[in-house]
Homo-oligomer: A and B are copies of this chain.
């Protein structure tokens, strides 16, 4: 079973990497770019076959390792 995890910065947390990408896009001639935020997309392949248990395990992984919950949000989809 595959868990798809999105880890994104919380609102209000500065994203210098996103700002840099935004400026680079402008330099390349893309106009109308208001904001860029960069997060991580993590795919975890699990042996678990029960969707609820797999989701629970993935959420636990996020809290313990994959996300820094002080500054980041995470969401988990299983399927």
Contact = CB atoms under 8 A, between A and B. Distances in A.
A6 B77 CA distance: 15
A42 interface: yes
Interface string A50-67: 000000010011001110
B43 A39 contact: yes
Contact of A44 (B28, B36, B40, B48): B36
Interface string A6-46: 11100000000010010011001011111111111111111
A65 B25 contact: yes
A25 B34 CA distance: 37
Which A-B residue pairs are the 3 nearest by beta carbons?
A32-B47, A35-B45, A41-B41
